[in-house]
Amino acid sequence: MEKVKLAVIYYSAYGTNYQLSKWAEEGAIEAGAEVRLLKVDELIPEDVINKDQGMKANAEATKDVPIAGHDDLEWADAIIFSVPTRFGNMASQMKNFIDRQGGLWAEGKLANKVVSAMSSAQNPHGGQEHTILSLYTSMMHWGAIIVAPGFTDPAIFKAGGNPYGTSVTQGQDGNMIEDVKDAVKHQAKRVVEVASWIKKGK
C-alpha cells in the first residue's frame, strides 16, 4: 500500500512547538509515513522579533522550514497540528492559517483527513487542553476525523495524562517541564496507523 502522507503543521514563537513537531515527524517516519514538516506564516513584525532574543533565535533556527499552504493540506492523508496557547485558544498565526482554507473546505477536500493536535503553555493550567479542543472544533467543520491519543499508551501518563493531545508546560527557563517525547511519538504513530486503515478502506 502507498505510504500515509502526513503533514505536521506548527506555529512556534520560541521553539517549543517546533520541537514537538520534530518528535512527531520522527515518530511518523518510524511508522512508515511520508512526512512534510511545515510552519504557518508569522504575523509578528520582524522588527519586534529581532528585539526578543528568544524569538529571534527560533526564527533563525527554523528559517528553512517550509511555509504550509493549501497544496500541503490537499496532499496530506493526515495532519498533526502543534500550537501554543494564547489566552486559552490557539495562537492567531494558526487560526489565520485555518481561516484561509475556505476554498478547500467548499470543494470538500478537507473532509476525512485524519487530524490530531498538540499544544503548550507557560503553566499547567494555562489553557493547553482548551487550545487543542478549540482546534478540534474547526476540524469538525472540515469533516475531518479526529484521532486523539486517549490513554492508549503508558507514555501518555508519563507526559501528564492529556487524552486530547500531547501538551507541555514551558518553564521560565524556556525548557519543557514534562517529559513528552515518547507521548508525542506515540501520538504520531497512532495517527499514521488510523490513517492507514482509512486509506486502505478507500
d(C-alpha 70, C-alpha 92), whole Å: 18
What per-residue confidence (pLDDT) applies to 175? Answer: 82
d(C-alpha 159, C-alpha 171), whole Å: 15
The three cell numbers locating residue 39? 510552519
What per-residue confidence (pLDDT) applies to 172? Answer: 76
Q: Which residues pair with 121 in a beta bridge?
A: 169
Query: 10 Å Cβ neighbour count for 89?
Result: 16
State how many domains the chain has. 1
Q: Which residue from 139, 28, 22, 125 is spatially nearest to 82, judged by alpha carbons?
A: 22
CATH of the domain at 26: 3.40.50.360
Q: Which amino acid is at 162?
A: N
d(C-alpha 82, C-alpha 128), whole Å: 11
What are 19-52's pLDDT values in tens digits?
A: 999 999 999 999 999 999 999 999 999 999 999 9
What are 72-131's pLDDT values in tens digits?
A: 999 999 999 999 999 999 999 999 999 999 999 999 999 999 999 999 998 888 889 999
115 Cβ neighbours under 8 A, 6+ residues apart:
78, 79, 80, 81, 136, 139, 142, 144, 145, 146, 147, 191
What per-residue confidence (pLDDT) applies to 178? Answer: 85
pTM, 2 dp: 0.96
Range of the domain at 21: 5-201
